[in-house]
Amino acid sequence: MNALIIYDELEWVYTAGTALHHARHNANLRGSWEIKPWRTDIFKCAKAADKALVEAVRAELIVFAGVRLDLLATRLGEWLERWVIRREIEDVALVVMNRRSSGGPVLAAPSWLSGFAARHSLGLIEDLQRA
C-alpha cells in the first residue's frame, strides 16, 4: 500500500504515518504502508514537484498533513491536475489532516479540493486532528 504525505512541519509525517498504520491494523489489512513524505516546498521547484509526481502515480492515498491548502491552491491544483492524468491507481483517496488553530476554526478541506475530488471520482477524507 502506497501513501504520499505532503506536509509543512516534520511532526505531521509522524502523525500521518501513525494514523495510517493504525488504520491498516484496525482494518486487518496485510502488508505495510510505503510512505513517501514530501514537504510543501516542492511546489516552489518544478524538478522537485516532478519527482513527487512520479512517486504519487502509484499512491492509494495522498495525505495533506498539517498543510494550509488555501495558501497552496494554485500550485497544488496544477500539480493535482497533472497527477490525476498520470495516476496508475483508480481507487485513490485524498486525506486532509489538520488541527484546530488556537482558538480558531478547524481548518477543513477547501471547496476547490472538494470539487477536484468530486470531478475525478476520488475519495476525500477529512481526518481533523485537534490540538
Rounded to a whole number of angstroms, the distance between the first and last alpha carbons of the chain is 28
Q: Is the pLDDT of residue 48 over 60?
A: yes
Average pLDDT, the chain: 86
pLDDT value, residue 129 = 53
pTM of the model: 0.87
Q: Would you list the DSSP string of 60-83?
A: SEEEEES--GGGGHHHHHHHHHHH
pLDDT higher for 43 or 28? Answer: 43
Q: Is it the case that residue 60 has pLDDT exceeding 50?
A: yes
Give the pLDDT of residue 105.
46
Retrieve residue 5's grid coordinates. Answer: 504525505
Question: Of 62, 19, 60, whose CA–CA distance to 37 is shortest?
Answer: 62
User: Rounded CA gap, 17 and 27, in Å?
Assistant: 15
Q: What is the pLDDT of residues 90-126, one digit of tens each?
A: 999 999 988 655 544 455 678 899 999 999 999 998 8
Domain boundaries, the chain: 2-129
The share of the chain scoring above pLDDT 90, in percent, equals 56
Asked if the 2-129 domain carries CATH number 3.40.50, the reply is: yes
Q: How confident is the model at residue 1 (pLDDT cuts 50, 70, 90)?
A: confident
**DSSP classification of residue 91:** S
